[in-house]
Structure 1
């Protein structure tokens, strides 16, 4: 289940990134960052499931930072 979520979030983020590069329109970049943050959160949960807590906490911290950046992008645009 987590692997499927990780693939879905990465594909959605990649679609936003490709759209932004092709159209030179970076207004959707906060959405891309949001989905990348969710993908990293799922990766952290997978690491906790594998009993690798150090990498799990690292991914959770990166997720929180990414979500913070994306929320700031939502409000500043």
Structure 2
């Protein structure tokens, strides 16, 4: 009940795809605009995954270029 009250204060909700949009609209009883833009914090990791962009990101973050990196990113749920 409290969560639905908070969701009623939102202007927008970000959704990764049409399937999730339908679920979010129902689960959160959300009547405002839902933006199907993906999840900006990690979409770049799937879209720009060439060796050059991975190397640049590792360099920027000070990570070893020759090592595999595992991202642990729990969701807001």
TM-score, with structure 2 as normaliser: 0.25
More helix by share: 1
Indicate the structure whose relative CO is greater, using CA pairs within 8 Å and at least 6 residues apart. 1
TM-score by length of 1: 0.25
> Which structure dedicates a bigger proportion of its chain to strand?
2
Pair member with larger Rg: 2
